[in-house]
Amino acid sequence: MTGVLAKLEGVSRTYQKGKEKVEVLHNLDLEIPDGDFIAVMGPSGSGKTTLLNLLGGLDRPTSGTVTVGGAEISSMSNNKLSRWRSTNIGFIFQFYNLLPVLTAQRNVELPLLLTNFGAKERAKRAAIALDIVGLSDRARHYPRELSGGQEQRVAIARAIVSDPKLLLCDEPTGDLDRETADEILRLLQVLNREHGKTIVMVTHDAQAAAFANRMLHCDKGTLEAREAA
């Protein structure tokens, strides 16, 4: 690993809940080296997903700064942030979020619609991404024709199609059985080790966390390092 890809400095995030202010993250400092694979664990409501949203530019800190790939994203305009996100961040969610009316190929192409690539280039890049996740033979299949594990592989292909620096995974195996979950986690390891993707994965599953290089525990808005399982 060389250099720091992402950095949070003095980051706090407070939400208004009725008349009450709830601080989800408190004065957080975090450095994520380029090429790292981090698992973030902790109880529900501890700020794990908020951390992912801040790193991906889906949310902004109440105070502090978020820098990813040398860009301070916490101060970007919404339009600039949307463009930046489309080429620098890949999101992987628990429930895949595939569009049922589109084939696997078309689902993977979706992030490229925000780029200047033409139709042929989009198709080429989507085909490469599907090949990386081992689903070239399912390119013309619709989500209803795929297993849960295959749907998640399509979602991972969609996340990597724009060759982002950082993959943010929110419970990526939470809806899968153990065997299929481990297949997806091994794929994430390949993306990390062989394709140089930096990964931050939120999970409640200690077995899933063991696939990461290191583990952070999030609780009451703070982070602390934990030994890998």
- On whether the CB atoms of residues 222 and 26 are closer than 8 A, the answer is yes
Q: What is the pLDDT of residues 162-198, one digit of tens each?
A: 999 899 999 998 888 899 899 999 999 999 999 999 9
Q: What is the pLDDT of residues 57-85, one digit of tens each?
A: 989 999 999 999 999 998 888 888 888 88
pTM, whole model, 2 decimals? Answer: 0.90
CATH number given to 36-60+77-226: 3.40.50.300
What's residue 30's pLDDT?
A: 92
Distance of alpha carbon 198 from the chain centroid = 9
Residue 103 to residue 53: CA distance in whole angstroms: 28
Domain residue spans of the chain: 36-60+77-226
Residue 212 to residue 201: CA distance in whole angstroms: 8
- On whether the CB atoms of residues 154 and 141 are closer than 8 A, the answer is no
What's residue 228's pLDDT?
A: 53
Residue 150 to residue 144: CA distance in whole angstroms: 10
Confidence of residue 1 (pLDDT cuts 50, 70, 90): very low
